[in-house]
Amino acid sequence: MEEERVGERSDTELDNESDVEMTGIEDDSETDTGSEGEMEAGAGFEPVPAAADDWSAEPANITVQNFVEQPGPRHNLDASACPLNFFFLMFPLFLIETLVAETNLYAAHCIDVSPNSSWYNTCMEEMRAFLCLQIVFGIRGRPRLWMYWSEDKRFHDAFISSIMTINRFKNISRYFHCRDTANAPTRGEQGFGLLFKVRNIINTTQATFRAHFQAQRELSVDEAMVGFKGRLFQTAHAGEAHKMGASIYNAFVTWKYSPHDYDIPNSYDLMMFTADVAEGLLNGFTSWKLPSRKATCATPVWPETIQHHVIEKISGRKKQCILCIMERKKTP
């Protein structure tokens, strides 16, 4: 019945259903027809022996090599290392530099097509603050983004709203990019893939994970669902919390740092570690002190004396540096 329903649908509908390229998969109907024809002919048909890595009903001798690796962390950090040091082991600083460069590049390309007067290039410190917000969102959950910046005290988050305005956050989110996609390969070309835009991030983090931690022999693998409703390969699970999304497989290890090895109190859990990473990324940054792209100031304020300059709204859309305004007021 399923084959009949598929046959009734047009090719266009089937093509639009997913972006996944189904290559290397033969038509079952053609394969079955050919096999039946050979069997009916009876001309020397012999079963093809199964390959060594294929499933078979016959038991095979399996040799398991001895596990000789030393499980655990592989790094040179000592007991005085902070959570941010461990984060940069897995997510190096040059990746944040890449995010800054690619975001500014993509913003410039988009603004050439559709001008955006509120945009100004981001920097390393602001991108770190943006990543901090992404982490804190997972700790202080809200059903709507605007609630973090709401004036309603029932929803307002003083910490998040003190880092940057909601308009600036949306601007960075709008142009956020990990890789230059101007010359991205098309379907059928080498390197094409649905994860091309983030492949450089994935490859780097996979390498750093393997370099700085060696898992033990016993592993536990579990399937999980990442909720997503956009244009991506999706699977549907009625029993999961996220009905639609991407299925991923997680490998779990039983290794755990000893509190005595790294002077970690017993009450220090994963949530506190995550919050410390976010605070380290932030490093006291706040975009409320950043000069506007339209600010008129004779003194260089980006980024040498950034902590001393605050933008004040004078009239309408005109903004000026407070220090420069005070200097002019002192002049007779």
Q: pLDDT of 105-147, one tens digit each?
A: 999 999 999 999 999 999 999 999 999 999 999 999 999 999 9
Q: Which amino acid is at 33?
A: T
The better pLDDT of the pair 253, 181 is held by 181
Q: What is the predicted pLDDT for the residue at 43?
A: 47
Q: What is the predicted pLDDT for the residue at 243?
A: 66
Whether the predicted pLDDT of 298 surpasses 60: no
Strand ranges (E), the chain: 72-73, 213-214, 220-227, 235-236, 244-252, 311-315, 318-321
The percentage of residues in the chain with a pLDDT greater than 90, rounded to a whole number, is 36
Q: How confident is the model at residue 242 (pLDDT cuts 50, 70, 90)?
A: low
Q: What is the predicted pLDDT for the residue at 106?
A: 95
The better pLDDT of the pair 58, 3 is held by 58
**Which of 70-84, 143-157, 265-279 is the most confident on average?**
143-157
Residue 162 has a CB neighbour count (10 Å cut-off) of 10
3-state secondary structure of 314: strand
Whether the predicted pLDDT of 32 surpasses 50: no
Whether the predicted pLDDT of 19 surpasses 60: no
Whether the predicted pLDDT of 46 surpasses 90: no
Mean pLDDT of 82-88: 91
Structure tokens at 153: 């005290």
**Which of 17-26, 152-161, 318-327 is the most confident on average?**
152-161
Q: What is the predicted pLDDT for the residue at 265?
A: 56
Q: What is the predicted pLDDT for the residue at 327?
A: 57
Q: How far is 135 from 132, CA to CA, in rounded Å?
A: 5
Whether the predicted pLDDT of 228 surpasses 60: yes
Lowest mean pLDDT segment, chosen from 7-11, 18-22, 176-180? 18-22
Three-state DSSP string of 211-228: HHEECCCCCEEEEEEEEC
Q: How far is 261 from 257, CA to CA, in rounded Å?
A: 7
Q: What is the predicted pLDDT for the residue at 81?
A: 87
Do 307 and 287 form a contact (C-beta atoms < 8 A)? Answer: no
3-state secondary structure of 235: strand
Mean pLDDT of 75-86: 88
Q: What is the predicted pLDDT for the residue at 322?
A: 52
Please give the mean pLDDT across all residues of the chain.
74
Q: Where do the domains of the chain lie?
A: 82-212+269-284, 214-254, 291-330
Q: What is the predicted pLDDT for the residue at 30?
A: 45
Q: What is the predicted pLDDT for the residue at 303?
A: 38
Whether the predicted pLDDT of 283 surpasses 80: yes
Taking alpha carbons only, the member of 237, 99, 248 closest to residue 179 is 99
Distance, CA of 25 to chain centre: 30
